[in-house]
Amino acid sequence: MAGSTPGWHRLRLHLASTAPPVYPPAPRPAPGCEVCRGPVGPGFARCYQCGRHDLLGHGLLADAVVPISYAIKGTALADDLWRYKSWPAPAASARASVLALLLTFLADHGACVRRHAAMPPPARLAVVPTGAGRPGPHPLLGLISPCLRLPACPLAIRPGRQGRDLDLDRFRAGPVPAGASVLLLDDTWVSGASAQSAAAALKLAGARHVAIVVLGRHVNPDEPAAAPLLAALAPARYDPSSCAVHQAPAPADR
């Protein structure tokens, strides 16, 4: 239904012709961490970071982490995920590509994300804050919030809490209705510490479910552990028929 409207047609045309190719994770079983889909060591189901997060924040982490694509260092998509929020002059073409990819994925696979997280439709929207000290709201929130009918839940980093490890006190969340489900967006997942710290803040503030949708799961080709994952990837135009957690729709979703 959404794909038949002029606006969705323009978004899909942009993804098919102008936006950078993506590197979509295949539904499991597939190479990569069972949580974030990043590189893993031989014989491990989770990457080191996701395993450590579970030890430190069990029960407060996101109910689902769903990357739309891999953001391989040096590729056009990884470049766009940096340029769309470059301060003080973000690239308009990168902003258009990021918005088209995110909106189209949410329209095509929002139900897949919800089923994977075992949660009802989200009641709140949040974006993982940046630790770079950029003034004003996060650029991703500014792009997406006018397009989604979800009240935003602000997240703010507490002074002195920047870091690369999971920190349950890193962020302060705005009011969240008790038991609410939250869609948490992240543009680039590197270690996942910021995203999972944000998920923990939302749950501590009252959220019952948090699902993280990531535009680009960062991969550095120079890391030896990335080789098996990269060998299974090929650039492609966005495919609306599958995602990392794709499932056949339940009768209520049809």
Q: What is the pTM of this model?
A: 0.93
Q: What pLDDT is stored for residue 249 in this prediction?
A: 53
Is the N-terminal amide bond of 240 cis, ω within 30° of 0?
A: no
Q: What is the pLDDT of residue 171?
A: 95
- Grade residue 241 by pLDDT with cuts at 50, 70 and 90: confident
Residue 15 domain flag? no
> Which pLDDT score, from 0 to 100, does residue 49 have?
96
Task: Indicate whether 167 belongs to any domain.
Answer: yes
Task: Please report the pLDDT score of residue 1 as a whole number.
Answer: 34
Beta-bridge partners for 65: 212
The model's pLDDT over 163-194, given as tens digits with 9 standing for 90+, comes to: 889 999 999 999 999 999 999 999 999 999 99
Q: Quote the number of domains for the chain.
A: 1
Residue 199 lies in a domain: yes
| pLDDT recorded at residue 134 | 66
Average pLDDT over residues 29-55: 93
Is residue 3 pLDDT above 50, yes or no? no
In whole angstroms, what is the distance from residue 209 CA to residue 114 CA? 10
Backbone angles phi, psi at 113, to 5 degrees: -60, -45
Residue 31 is assigned to a structural domain of this protein? yes
195 within 8 A of 186, measured Cβ to Cβ: yes
Distance, CA of 206 to CA of 188 (rounded, Å): 25
Residue 18 lies in a domain: no
What is the pLDDT averaged over residues 112-123? 96
CATH code, domain carrying 95: 3.40.50.2020
- Specify the residue for token string 């974030």: 36
Distance, in Å, from the CA atom of 227 to the CA atom of 193, rounded to the nearest integer, reads 23
The average pLDDT across 77-96 equals 94
| pLDDT at site 247 | 62
Is 152 within a domain? yes
> Range with the lowest mean pLDDT among 30-44, 45-59, 124-138, 190-204?
124-138
Mean model confidence pLDDT for the chain:
91
Cα of first residue to Cα of last residue in the chain, in angstroms, is 11
Q: Is residue 233 in some structural domain?
A: yes
CB-based burial of residue 230 (10 Å sphere; 0-12 exposed, 13-18 middle, 19+ buried)?
middle
Share above pLDDT 70 across residues of the chain, in percent, rounded to a whole number: 93
pLDDT at 254: 45
In a domain, 109, yes or no: yes
pLDDT score for 109: 95
Burial label, 35 (beta-carbon count in 10 A; 0-12, 13-18, 19+): buried
- Show the domain range for 88: 26-253
Place of tokens 């944000």: 198
